[in-house]
Amino acid sequence: MDYKKRLEELIRERALKVADEPIFKLSSGKMSNYYLDLRTITLDPEGGFVIGNIIFDMIKDKNPDAIGGLTLGADPIAYATSIISFIKNKPIKPFVVRKEPKGHGTGKQIEGNLKPGENVFIVEDVVTTAGSSLKAAKVVKEFGANILGIIAIVDREEGGEENIKKEGFNFYPIFKVSYFLKK
């Protein structure tokens, strides 16, 4: 199966909504004439399988110890990649970065088996300005892990890549939104 081609089909069929005028309010408050609801794919068995395979193939030769990002967008992506990595005998641990440290117990902000010094990838479904990705990267870096890069399923091409690179991280989008809007 051509996983990238299938992901493109799923995005076109389920996730991409386009209007003639800006009717979609983004988390930034900005209005847009298109919206990407990638959770319709990341929270789907086939979608998770496809995404997990794509990302595993992207990162397997970089030997990461773990993969994760800011909850909730990153969670199903990290889990799917982790399961595929286990099936392919090259396990990569998933982790979750809470938006705020836990208010009880140990007060952790990172859940999972991540250890300081490990090599990780940060994942995100859609990157616009990269605020969520960079928030996760800051927490993970302060924890003591080494960030190999940030991966997005779709880059909205609205400054996220520049913001990521400005912070010194590599950026690996699977798709750029212009790919979908020009066809």
Residue among 13, 24, 18 nearest 50 (CA):
13
How far apart are the C-alpha atoms of 100 and 10, rounded to whole Å? 32
pLDDT at 62 over 90: yes
Q: Is 81 annotated as a binding residue?
A: no
Kindly state the tokens that stand for 3: 């996983």
156 known member of a binding site: yes
At 133-143, the pLDDT tens digits run 999 999 999 99
Domains in the chain (CATH in brackets) are 3-181 (3.40.50.2020)
15 is in an annotated binding site: no
Contact between 177 and 155 under an 8 Å Cβ cutoff? The reply is yes
What pLDDT digit, counting tens, does each position of 17-45 carry?
999 999 999 877 889 999 999 999 999 99
Mean pLDDT of 46-51: 98
Global pTM reads: 0.95
Number of helices (H) and strands (E), helices first, in the chain? 7, 10
Burial (CB count <10 Å: 0-12, 13-18, 19+), residue 101: exposed
- Per-residue pLDDT band for 107 (boundaries 50, 70, 90) equals confident
Tell whether 75 is in a known binding site: no
Q: Is 61 annotated as a binding residue?
A: no
Query: Is 115 known as a binding-site position?
Result: no
Signed CA dihedral, 59, 123, 23, 159: sign only: negative
